[in-house]
């Protein structure tokens, strides 16, 4: 049987009842986190410019366009909301997928709530199968897929979005298989566009196209269900012969779900996840030794070779490139004691104090044969102080990278509030969190989108709150 059919059988057979209490809890946290960063990202320049371009083809419909004060058709809303979800690069990550699992899924879930009248339990089941599909495919193709230059959040996210949409639409197994096969042809996105507005657009494109694939399948559109394993199909074209293991896409499917193990990674900082471990290591030294940037003569940082290539940007030219600049992220953390959304806006990357500190920072990969390369999430930071001391911190992975090293609950709530309160107001932000964390009890998941629509401001805000205030003296 074709892989698309095998996946369809599993997607159709996985319901809310298969979610363990642990999986359910993490699914709700991940949805809440993605809602928050979508709200905060909704008026970033990339979203505003996308909206202007789409104004040439006005769309009316039932689906909320987050933070924009209007509603639109499902496909239009998915495109804009998906771009907003990834605009800050603050959304969650997956070790299996090698990318950001929830951002391509949330716009489909919101469309399901508004256009398909889904319940909270239906949304949670759709989220779980979308997450499972994209992560299991990640196991089949990574890390060759990632290192070749594909952006898994976009390529695999398109297929995951199709799975989630198909589940929300209640498609039968043949139609689900067709939706997945259509999504294979829609999958795209290359890492060359990291550090530009096109990277978050990848996610909007994935969400829209995954939803479109399911809608086409519902209407009887056909596709080649051998689209994954065909000699000119996904695996051979995207990875190449001998550079994938299709069996891993089915092994252990849903037992336990990927959302439970290895789980989801929640970001502390709105920058590329590959910068997080060295930033954590640097901040650990600074806090332990009570150092400020004036006390530091030099910083050295090393990360896995796989991680270094796309964060080796010693002279970022704009805020989006700064998110992929390890030198900038370390310098900013050294100066301000954290990384916050306000550190990647307007001209903050040109801050003269930070630029001076950047000159004291040296970065590079671990040698290919070093023991540290056994763990791609590890980092080592060395600080040489002005009084001659040498301080070293090694960590195995950043805080939040997985459930085994979670972000503290208080820090997660602070992130949610900092992302949502400036946009929705304190009362609506608190209510949004309550609804997301109680999603399984909602007969109408549209209560989430109704709240966002009612509280949305004119599209002119900029994030404020605790995280943005960290830049007040910058």
pLDDT digits (tens, 9 = 90+) for 276-317: 999 999 999 999 999 999 999 999 999 999 889 889 999 999
* Residue 190 located in a structural domain: yes
Same domain membership, residue 295 and residue 230: no
User: Which segments of 290-363 does DSSP mark as H helices, in order?
Assistant: 305-308, 319-322, 326-336, 352-358
Looking at residue 457, its pLDDT comes to 61
Looking at residue 473, its pLDDT comes to 29
Same domain membership, residue 278 and residue 205: no
Same domain membership, residue 235 and residue 381: no
Answer with the one of 354, 371, 395 that is the final residue of a domain: 395
Same domain membership, residue 353 and residue 244: no
Looking at residue 376, its pLDDT comes to 87
Buried b (16+ CB within 10 A) or exposed e, 310-347: bbebeebebbbbbbbbbbbbbbbbbbbebbbbbbbbee
Same domain membership, residue 231 and residue 120: yes
Same domain membership, residue 307 and residue 391: yes
d(C-alpha 185, C-alpha 171), whole Å: 19
Same domain membership, residue 277 and residue 241: no
pTM of the full structure:
0.92
Looking at residue 57, its pLDDT comes to 79
Same domain membership, residue 314 and residue 205: no
Same domain membership, residue 189 and residue 62: yes
* Residue 140 located in a structural domain: yes
d(C-alpha 121, C-alpha 113), whole Å: 11
**Domain count along the chain:** 2
CATH of the domain at 334: 3.30.1330.120
Answer with the one of 395, 422, 443 that is the final residue of a domain: 395
Same domain membership, residue 306 and residue 345: yes
* Residue 161 located in a structural domain: yes
Looking at residue 43, its pLDDT comes to 87
Answer with the one of 234, 249, 264 that is the final residue of a domain: 249
Looking at residue 359, its pLDDT comes to 97
Let me know the angle formed at the C-alpha of 56 by 53 and 57, rounded to the nearest 5 degrees.
110
Same domain membership, residue 234 and residue 309: no
Looking at residue 456, its pLDDT comes to 61
d(C-alpha 403, C-alpha 261), whole Å: 8
* Residue 76 located in a structural domain: yes
d(C-alpha 345, C-alpha 381), whole Å: 26
CATH of the domain at 199: 1.10.4100.10
Query: Could you list the residue range(s) of the whole structural domain that residue 222 is in?
Result: 3-249
pLDDT digits (tens, 9 = 90+) for 351-383: 999 999 999 999 999 997 777 778 889 999 999
* Residue 458 located in a structural domain: no
* Residue 415 located in a structural domain: no
Low-confidence ranges of the chain (pLDDT < 50): 458-474
What the block records as the tokens of 83 is 């771009």
What the block records as the tokens of 216 is 């086409």
296-303 and 361-365 strand pairing: parallel
Looking at residue 472, its pLDDT comes to 30
* Residue 471 located in a structural domain: no
d(C-alpha 286, C-alpha 21), whole Å: 38
* Residue 91 located in a structural domain: yes
Looking at residue 461, its pLDDT comes to 45
110: Cβ contacts below 8 Å, ≥ 6 apart: 63, 64, 66, 77, 78, 81, 448, 449
Same domain membership, residue 315 and residue 213: no
d(C-alpha 166, C-alpha 154), whole Å: 18
Looking at residue 368, its pLDDT comes to 79
């Amino acid at each position: 049987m074709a892989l698309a059919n095998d996946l369809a059988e599993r997607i159709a057979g996985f319901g809310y009842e298969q979610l363990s209490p642990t999986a359910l809890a993490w699914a709700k946290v991940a949805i809440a986190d993605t809602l928050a960063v979508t709200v905060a990202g909704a008026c970033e320049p990339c979203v505003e410019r996308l909206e202007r371009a789409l104004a040439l083809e006005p769309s009316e419909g039932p689906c909320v366009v987050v933070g924009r004060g209007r509603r639109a058709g499902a496909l239009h809303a998915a495109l804009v909301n998906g771009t907003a979800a990834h605009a800050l690069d603050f959304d969650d990550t997956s070790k299996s997928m090698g990318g950001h699992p929830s951002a391509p899924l949330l716009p489909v879930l919101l469309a399901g709530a508004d256009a398909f009248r889904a319940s909270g339990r239906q949304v949670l089941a759709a989220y779980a199968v979308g997450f499972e599909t994209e992560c299991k495919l990640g196991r089949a193709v990574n890390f060759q897929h990632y290192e070749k230059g594909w952006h898994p959040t976009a390529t695999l996210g398109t297929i995951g979005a199709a799975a989630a949409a198909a589940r929300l639409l209640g498609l039968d197994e043949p139609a689900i298989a067709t939706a997945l096969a259509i999504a294979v042809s829609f999958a795209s996105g290359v890492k060359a566009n990291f550090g530009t507005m096109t990277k978050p657009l990848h996610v909007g494109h994935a969400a829209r196209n995954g939803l479109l694939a399911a809608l086409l399948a519902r209407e009887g559109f056909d596709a080649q269900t051998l689209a994954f394993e065909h000699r000119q199909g996904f695996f051979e074209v995207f990875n190449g012969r001998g550079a994938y293991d299709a069996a891993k896409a089915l092994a252990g499917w849903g037992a336990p779900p990927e959302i439970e193990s290895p789980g989801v990674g929640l970001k502390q900082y709105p920058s590329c996840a590959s910068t997080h471990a060295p930033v954590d290591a640097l901040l650990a030294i600074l806090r332990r030794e009570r150092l400020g940037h004036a006390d530091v003569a030099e910083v050295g940082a090393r990360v896995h070779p796989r991680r270094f290539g796309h964060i080796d940007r010693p002279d970022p030219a704009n805020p989006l490139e700064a998110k992929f600049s390890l030198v900038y992220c370390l310098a900013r953390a050294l100066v301000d004691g954290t990384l916050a959304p306000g550190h990647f806006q307007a001209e903050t990357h040109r801050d003269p104090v930070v630029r001076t500190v950047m000159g004291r920072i040296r970065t590079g990969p671990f040698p290919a044969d070093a023991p540290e390369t056994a763990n791609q999430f590890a980092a080592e930071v060395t600080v040489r102080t002005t009084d001659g001391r040498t301080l070293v911190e090694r960590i195995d992975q950043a805080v939040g990278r997985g459930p085994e090293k979670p972000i503290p609950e208080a820090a997660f709530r602070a992130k949610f509030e900092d992302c949502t309160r400036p946009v929705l107001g304190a009362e609506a932000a608190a209510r949004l969190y309550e609804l997301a964390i109680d999603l399984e009890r909602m007969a109408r998941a549209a209560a989430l989108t109704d709240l966002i629509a009612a509280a949305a401001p004119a599209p002119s805000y900029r994030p404020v709150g605790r995280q943005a205030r960290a830049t007040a003296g910058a």
